Structure 1
């Protein structure tokens, strides 16, 4: 049986997995024969997989994520956990799920939250650039430090400052205001 994505309902997912919310993992359950093409396939699966942690880690573009194969479909584990935790079908899971601590392998329900693409992108560690401070550049012509922040794809100039530290503080204050709970600061910027 090949299930379409829309067939991955909350009920179906609940028949497949037990959610260990404390560890943020899925445990395979003993699945019914209706999930398989034959009784033999069901027996094999249940004898070898039931009671084990579901999924494997795949790395894509430098990001490691846990995925699970379900009815010949590869589904991100964090999406299944979100669906089970919120008692919703997989199709009703928001398009973007953010990992609050930025670790894509920590899938505890408390670490997953709905986000916009912009919020999700802001909650990641980015290169600091030549100045060593995010959002700050040196203006040699004026011998000042310029602070800029982005909001909704538009750049906002925060002004020029005599020191890199003042420009960095201005950027940090503006970024915290604009991005709220999704604001992520690097240890070097703290």
Structure 2
């Protein structure tokens, strides 16, 4: 049997119909489960009958990648599980970036997946591991020991001032986060 070619969209995403042949999705848990895939997904029918389907059908799909997201290899290419979940659930790919509202990159419950822009997504980040102050956008100056803070807004870095205490700098930064529409979980 010959393989039915799968057309990959310009943005390297597979057709939703194909995804629905591959996965079932549980929106309350966020788990994508491999279905028993049809023979036309494989170059040899024995791969479906004796290989892939026996090993994977009925099991959760995906592995955690280095950046912390779940990804799934399909048609020889990696795909983000959250984008597949969205497409299977809604019947189309998101027109934009998907943000994990609670910041947990492996939590693909539909209630945790929020359509956003790259700018909105950047306002819901975890605290970086190399952050020394414990607060995003706040750092201690080496020359005088005072605390300086800034925020990204309107596409540029905005300096918010220099303060004697870290508490003052954090307070000013938190107010700026509210003003610029940062997510309440930003910097967690």
TM norm. shorter chain > 0.5: yes
Q: Is the 8 A contact 1:175 1:183 kept in 2?
A: no
Q: Is the 8 A contact 2:98 2:114 kept in 1?
A: yes
State the partner residue of 2:54: 47
Which structure 2 segments of 5+ residues have no match? none
Which structure 1 segments of 5+ residues have no match? none
Residue 13 of structure 1: which of 19, 32, 45 is its match? 19
Residue 76 of structure 1: which of 63, 80, 86 is its match? 80
Return the offset for 1:93: 2.8
User: TM-score scaled by structure 1?
Assistant: 0.77
Q: Aligned residue pairs: how many?
A: 180
**Change in CA separation of 1:37 and 1:133 when aligned onto 2, cut-off 3 Å:** closer
Q: Is structure 2 residue 37 aligned with structure 1 residue 28?
A: no
Task: Give the superposed CA RMSD.
Answer: 2.8
Distance of 2:178 and 2:70 partners within structure 1: 30
User: TM-score scaled by structure 2?
Assistant: 0.78
State the partner residue of 1:164: 166
**Change in CA separation of 1:140 and 1:70 when aligned onto 2, cut-off 3 Å:** closer
Structure with the higher helix share, 1 or 2: 1
Distance of 1:143 and 1:48 partners within structure 2: 59
